[in-house]
Chains A and B, each alone.
Chain A
Amino acid sequence: MPWRAGSGSIEYVPPPASQFLVPEPAHGRMVRRSGGRIVGGVAGGLADHLGIDVLKVRIAFVFLAALAGSGIVAYGLLWIFTSSGTDAERPTAAERRQAYGLAIMGLGLSAALSWILSGTAAQIIMPIIIVAVGAALVWREFDSEGPRSVLGLPQRPTVLTWSRILGGTTLIVVGLGVVILARIDLNSLGSALLAVFVTLIGAGLLTVPLWLRTIRALNAERAARIRNEEREEIASHLHDSVLQTLALIQKQSESPQEVMRLARGQERELRKWLFSGGDTAHSSLAAALRTIAGEVEDQHGVKVTPVTVGDVTMGRLEGGLSREHFTALLGAAREALVNAAKHSGVSDIDLFAEAEADQVSVFVRDRGSGFDVDAVSPDRQGLSRSIRGRVERRGGEVEVRSTVGKGTEIRIRMPRTAADLEWGSTPHPTPEEQPR
């Protein structure tokens, strides 16, 4: 008999459930109360659906609960299989108290009756009730309205949320623990588990189409949402960048220099967005050089063509270039570009950088006026001081090749191995070499 009661309760469920779940077309689908719920909004939703007083429904559930817990099972099934409504009206404090009282009464009655019926049953039913209450607490949190985080929890969980989840989890663990620790008769446990297992399989098989449809609908909805978000992101990006620039170009149409500058800047920005998948880390040499090239283009109205082969990162990671060397190299490259932009008299500058196993080289080349390297005039101080100075201080070398009328090339080489040797001796970058 002991577990007969339990299996009997499962058999007992269908009448109320099927009776309620097949609604008259006029009423539409049953939904649970959302704002006005106490536990799961099931009783309220059922009352709304049937057009009767919610108190009557609750009392019916309590009675059913007393019948070996079938009310609890019915409640749980309804909770699972109906969707949440959109009402917002909150229950009054009195109704809340009353409902909690009834809920406790229902749980108590079902426990007490089974206790009376059989001691062994109680050993099983009590933990099941505890587990059910714990599960209800957890479900309640995952079931609430509003925006969600990835885990399905409300996006801004409150202390109450966490305490409910924690409490629920504890109850579930305790309930399951009791079943195991009580070392109840293995035979009855086996038959109980079998009954539960068979029921679950049955329910699962019956609802397969429902799950499949739900999953499909979810996937379709998610795909549509992702597409939509993507499209919106692209649209907003194009609006902020390309459309704005086109508007500016129309206004500036009488100044070719300015149009050129705007177009180059926009082209660079769009390229970066299209091809590098968002922002690259600023500590990569190739990315940093592209940024510098862009800045020089913007400030001096020239066109810089950066080509990089290999790459090197800043930092003490394996193969990285120390911060001092990295900033010195970038500073020198920038100075060389600015120099070419200012003095060469042409608007095209080639920038080439290659990271080899033992050294990093940067070449800045123009086909402009050129100058006599041996007779550097004082206004070319920038070249020797800021380029040569900062590179040579870090163990690198600079070579300037220039022919009057043919152009200039500045070659900067920075050893990679020296990064480790000199690490201790150059703890602080000089102020001019602080990263920009």
Chain B
Amino acid sequence: MTAPVPRSPTPSCRVFLVDDHAVFRSGVRVELGREPDIDVVGEAGGVGEAIAGINSTRPDVVLLDVHMPDGGGVAVLNGIDTGPVCLALSVSDAAEDVIAVIRAGARGYVTKTISGTELADGVRRVAGGDAVFSPRLAGFVLDSFTGRSTVPEPPLDPELDSLTPRELEVLRLLARGYTYREIAEDLVISVKTVETHASNVLRKTQQSNRNALTRWAHRRRID
């Protein structure tokens, strides 16, 4: 691949695929290949290979499998240079795995059953700096922020450890399967505002000290 390129006049989104299943990688490559503005610049089947590949190709977006040998998506996120944004892609249903990659820095999470066009939308959105909440991720985050924790909470930072009523509203609609546009219509706000709320929720998910969140992330780090 070419060395770090200055942005070309027609900005296309450069994507790197990380998944330990070759069949799945080739499937995603074909699906994203149909999108004119998305360019798959590399792929890797293991953690070490992925870190080396990403650091040398410097893609815009990394599509990252959560479950892989040798530490999974979390290890890749911890190993790569800052720059590319990551979108987690998994078949996993387990809340702790999903929350752990989000807290390690992924900008969103979608399930592997997602359609090609939806995946492309997700890629564009994280490339543009937005958060991508699949209904499932929204559900997990909502659960971890609204659930009554069984362990005493650490002193809560009101800014980070709770969601505003508006953010909760947006999150609930995301969990119900609404798109950002539909949420904007429903709440009579602009799409830009919805995106801001979603990004705030993502930031709080990544930085909050809430027990439910730290427990999940911690459990994941132990293995």
Determine if chain A interacts with chain B: yes
Q: Which A residues fall within an 8 A CB radius of B? A: 271, 275, 303, 305, 307-310, 350, 352, 354, 356, 363, 365, 409
Q: A310 with B147: in contact, given A352-B176, A354-B172 (CB under 8 Å)?
A: yes
A385 to B176, CA, bound (A): 24
Report B170 CB to chain A, min CB distance, Å.
14
Q: A275 with B146: in contact, given A305-B177, A352-B175 (CB under 8 Å)?
A: no
Are A305 and B142 within 8 A (Cβ)?
A: no
Query: Chain A contacts of B94 at CB under 8 A?
Result: 275
Query: Chain B contacts of A303 at CB under 8 A?
Result: 113
Q: Does B49 touch A at the CB level, under 8 Å? A: no
Q: Which B residues fall within an 8 A CB radius of A? A: 93-94, 113, 135-136, 138-139, 142-143, 146-147, 172, 175-178
A309 to B141, CA, bound (A): 9
User: A275's closest neighbor in chain B, by CB?
Assistant: B93
Are B135 and A309 within 8 A (Cβ)?
A: no
Are A309 and B177 within 8 A (Cβ)?
A: no
Interface centre among B93, B94, B139 (most CB of A within 10 A): B139
Query: Chain A contacts of B178 at CB under 8 A?
Result: 365
A307 to B174, CA, bound (A): 10
User: B137's closest neighbor in chain A, by CB?
Assistant: A307
Known: A305-B136, A365-B177. 14 other contacts (CB 8 A): A271-B93, A303-B113, A305-B135, A309-B142, A309-B146, A352-B175, A352-B176, A352-B177, A354-B175, A356-B146, A363-B176, A365-B176, A365-B178, A409-B176
Are A309 and B143 within 8 A (Cβ)?
A: yes
User: A357's closest neighbor in chain B, by CB?
Assistant: B148
User: B186's closest neighbor in chain A, by CB?
Assistant: A401
Report A416 CB to chain B, min CB distance, Å.
14
Ranked 10 nearest A-B pairs via Cβ:
A350-B177, A307-B139, A352-B176, A309-B143, A309-B142, A363-B176, A307-B135, A275-B93, A307-B175, A352-B175
Are B138 and A307 within 8 A (Cβ)?
A: yes
Q: A352 with B139: in contact, given A310-B147, A363-B176 (CB under 8 Å)?
A: yes
Query: Chain A contacts of B139 at CB under 8 A?
Result: 307-309, 352
Query: Chain B contacts of A356 at CB under 8 A?
Result: 146
Q: A309 with B175: in contact, given A352-B135, A352-B139 (CB under 8 Å)?
A: yes
A365 to B138, CA, bound (A): 16
A307 to B139, CA, bound (A): 6
A308 to B175, CA, bound (A): 9
User: A401's closest neighbor in chain B, by CB?
Assistant: B186
Are A310 and B143 within 8 A (Cβ)?
A: yes
Are B93 and A310 within 8 A (Cβ)?
A: no
Report B210 CB to chain A, min CB distance, Å.
15
A309 to B137, CA, bound (A): 11
Query: Chain B contacts of A307 at CB under 8 A?
Result: 135-136, 138-139, 175-176
Query: Chain B contacts of A350 at CB under 8 A?
Result: 135, 176-177
Report B163 CB to chain A, min CB distance, Å.
13
30 A-B residue contacts at CB 8 Å? A271-B93, A275-B94, A305-B135, A305-B136, A305-B177, A307-B136, A307-B138, A307-B175, A307-B176, A308-B139, A309-B142, A309-B143, A309-B146, A309-B175, A310-B143, A310-B147, A350-B135, A350-B176, A350-B177, A352-B135, A352-B172, A352-B175, A352-B176, A354-B142, A354-B172, A356-B146, A363-B176, A365-B176, A365-B177, A365-B178
Query: Chain A contacts of B143 at CB under 8 A?
Result: 309-310
Interface centre among A303, A352, A356 (most CB of B within 10 A): A352
Report A326 CB to chain B, min CB distance, Å.
20
Report A68 CB to chain B, min CB distance, Å.
61
User: A305's closest neighbor in chain B, by CB?
Assistant: B135
A409 to B172, CA, bound (A): 14
Query: Chain A contacts of B142 at CB under 8 A?
Result: 309, 354
Are B146 and A310 within 8 A (Cβ)?
A: yes
A305 to B178, CA, bound (A): 13
Report A277 CB to chain B, min CB distance, Å.
11
Report B94 CB to chain A, min CB distance, Å.
6
A308 to B178, CA, bound (A): 15
Report B188 CB to chain A, min CB distance, Å.
15
Query: Chain A contacts of B177 at CB under 8 A?
Result: 305, 350, 352, 365
Query: Chain A contacts of B146 at CB under 8 A?
Result: 309-310, 356
Report B155 CB to chain A, min CB distance, Å.
23
Query: Chain B contacts of A354 at CB under 8 A?
Result: 142, 172, 175
A350 to B111, CA, bound (A): 14
Query: Chain B contacts of A305 at CB under 8 A?
Result: 135-136, 177
User: A407's closest neighbor in chain B, by CB?
Assistant: B182
A127 to B151, CA, bound (A): 56
User: B147's closest neighbor in chain A, by CB?
Assistant: A310
User: A307's closest neighbor in chain B, by CB?
Assistant: B139
Query: Chain A contacts of B172 at CB under 8 A?
Result: 352, 354
Query: Chain B contacts of A352 at CB under 8 A?
Result: 135, 139, 172, 175-177
A355 to B113, CA, bound (A): 26
A354 to B147, CA, bound (A): 11
A356 to B168, CA, bound (A): 13
A402 to B143, CA, bound (A): 28
A318 to B7, CA, bound (A): 60
User: B179's closest neighbor in chain A, by CB?
Assistant: A367
A307 to B111, CA, bound (A): 13
A308 to B147, CA, bound (A): 12
A275 to B96, CA, bound (A): 11
User: B111's closest neighbor in chain A, by CB?
Assistant: A305
A103 to B176, CA, bound (A): 81
User: A356's closest neighbor in chain B, by CB?
Assistant: B146
A149 to B81, CA, bound (A): 58
A352 to B140, CA, bound (A): 12
Interface centre among B139, B147, B177 (most CB of A within 10 A): B177
